[in-house]
Amino acid sequence: MVLHPPKGALPVCSSCGAVMERQPLVKPVPFLVLLAVGSALITMSLPGLLRPPATPKPPTSETLA
């Protein structure tokens, strides 16, 4: 089995001998969906990350009882 065939060589199935077609590494439509959803989630979380943390409130008499 050849892991890295020379450029221009066509891959052949080892069991049936048929010439195989080259497939894209990543399908374009699912990749675009993943990119859109990921960027939307990051965009929605940025205001919460950039806002300074809330200062803790001192305990009141109601919470101490």
Residue 19 pairs with which residues in a beta bridge?
12
Q: Please state, in angstroms and as integers, the Cα–Cα distance from residue 29 to each residue in 12, 20, 35, 36, following that order.
A: 28, 23, 10, 11
Over residues 22-35, mean pLDDT? 85
The pLDDT assigned to 64 comes to 58
Q: How far is residue 21's CA from residue 23's CA, in Å, rounded to a whole number?
A: 6
- Global confidence as pTM: 0.45
Identify which of 15-19, 20-24, 54-58 has the greatest average pLDDT: 15-19
Q: What is the DSSP letter of 59?
A: P
CB 3 within 8 A of CB 14: no
Highest mean pLDDT among 21-30, 34-43, 52-61: 34-43
pLDDT at position 47: 79
Q: Give the DSSP letter of residue 14.
A: T
Q: Identify the pLDDT of residue 37.
A: 96
Place of tokens 């806002």: 51
